[in-house]
């Protein structure tokens, strides 16, 4: 994919950051729980160069037209005037400046291959691509852990998307050929913790077992800023309060969650408790090097929990899971925040085409638009490529 080049005062270099899918572990990160993502081969590219006039210019190949140009010192006051898509990169610049890092000006040209609204963390890929570019240009002392905090703060405070640590951590820390087991409570406890604290790289080589991980993008976009994601966070906090704990991470048994009298809060807590257990169960199997087909039922159980207890699935997501399983997938579930987006399916290599056709036919019969499907393998986290 070509990145549009323009004339810069400084030398142009390019950085990339990947999208992600969770093998398992949805809505657990902001509950201080466990997640198990992989980085995607699909990335956002950021071509960047230093300016000397105190302004930041950001353009995007996916948003043709006049680029956004604003003074670094005016980023916070002018946030309301910034187009929605530009708030992600400009929010990262603003966060660098807020933390005392001198930004004399910068040109940013973006080009994204991560599908937007598919639940594959395109926004975190964008924010992290910009963050590593700014780090290398202006603050080389910053660690990956610090950049994760910068990128999350930009999304939370500048964009208004109440994300946890999952997306940015996956974009920064994932390695090729591995899934990232992240213990959010341990990882978040100290932003200055040494590299490796709170997370583990677990080998994830499906090809060695004749398997593939199929992504099914339903084409129904989801938005983290539409209120429903924030509502789930508030419900989880309320459920923790009802049980007298700081976060739902502290609840181990589903029986404890069942003590909550409010039915909605009880279901939310039950999902988080059982989802944490599923993450640890899948990680244990993968760590032991056993046939990954054994994690298939755990993935499917995760979807049932997201559908029934957390209530973030949709008819299209359910249809994709049903069609994939009916065609022989070992397991399937929705990924991401929900209310749209994508499904992953664990399939035998020689049945991938059959599963894809099953999903397409099922979608055609039920009136959904044709889904986009592609196979993914664990890729590397954010880095400079040129």
What is the enclosing helix (H) or strand (E) of 108? strand 106-112
Q: Tell me if 334 sits within 8 A of 119, measured CB to CB.
A: yes
What is the enclosing helix (H) or strand (E) of 355? helix 352-366
Q: Which one of the listed residues 32, 149, 167, 183 is annotated catalytic?
A: 167
Specify the 3-state DSSP secondary structure of 42: strand
C-alpha dihedral (215, 376, 197, 164), degrees to nearest 10: -30
Contacts of 122 (CB under 8 A, 6+ apart): 19, 44, 112, 114, 115, 116
Active site includes 226?
A: no
What is the enclosing helix (H) or strand (E) of 65? strand 63-71
Specify the 3-state DSSP secondary structure of 290: coil
> Nearest Cα to 217, choosing from 124, 138, 316?
316
> Nearest Cα to 344, choosing from 168, 229, 188, 216?
216
For the annotated catalytic residues, the residue numbers are: 167
């Amino acid at each position: 994919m070509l990145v549009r080049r323009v004339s810069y005062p400084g030398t142009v270099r390019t950085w990339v950051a990947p999208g992600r899918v969770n093998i398992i572990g949805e809505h657990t990160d902001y509950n201080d729980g466990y997640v198990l993502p992989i980085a995607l081969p699909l990335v956002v590219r950021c071509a960047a160069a230093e300016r000397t006039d105190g302004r930041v210019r950001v353009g995007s190949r996916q948003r043709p037209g006049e680029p956004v140009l604003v003074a670094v010192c005016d980023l916070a006051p002018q946030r309301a005037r910034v187009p929605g898509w530009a708030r992600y990169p400009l929010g990262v610049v603003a966060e660098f400046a807020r933390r005392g890092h001198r930004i004399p000006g910068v040109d940013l040209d973006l080009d994204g291959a991560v599908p937007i609204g598919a639940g594959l963390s395109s926004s975190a890929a964008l924010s992290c691509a910009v963050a590593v570019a700014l780090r290398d240009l202006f603050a080389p002392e910053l660690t990956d852990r610090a950049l994760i905090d910068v990128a999350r703060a930009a999304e939370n405070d500048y964009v208004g998307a109440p994300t946890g640590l999952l997306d940015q951590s996956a974009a920064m820390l994932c390695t090729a050929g591995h899934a990232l087991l992240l213990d959010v409570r341990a990882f978040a406890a100290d932003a200055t913790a040494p590299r490796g604290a709170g997370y583990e790289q677990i080998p994830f080589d499906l090809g060695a077992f004749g398997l593939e991980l199929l992504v099914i993008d339903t084409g129904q976009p989801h938005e983290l800023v539409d209120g429903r994601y924030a509502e789930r966070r508030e419900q989880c906090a309320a459920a923790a309060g009802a049980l007298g704990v700081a976060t739902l991470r502290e609840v181990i048994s589903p029986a404890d969650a069942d003590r909550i009298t409010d039915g909605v809060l009880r279901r939310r807590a039950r999902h988080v408790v059982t989802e944490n257990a599923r993450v640890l169960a899948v990680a244990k199997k993968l760590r032991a090097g056993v046939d990954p087909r054994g994690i298939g039922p755990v993935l499917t159980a995760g979807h049932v929990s997201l559908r029934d207890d957390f209530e973030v699935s949709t008819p299209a997501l359910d249809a994709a899971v049903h069609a994939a399983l009916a065609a022989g997938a070992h397991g399937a579930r929705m990924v991401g925040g929900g209310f749209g987006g994508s499904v992953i399916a664990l399939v035998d290599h020689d049945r991938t085409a059959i599963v894809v056709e099953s999903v397409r036919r099922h979608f055609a019969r039920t009136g959904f638009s044709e889904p986009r499907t592609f196979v993914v393998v664990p890729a590397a986290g954010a880095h400079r490529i040129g």
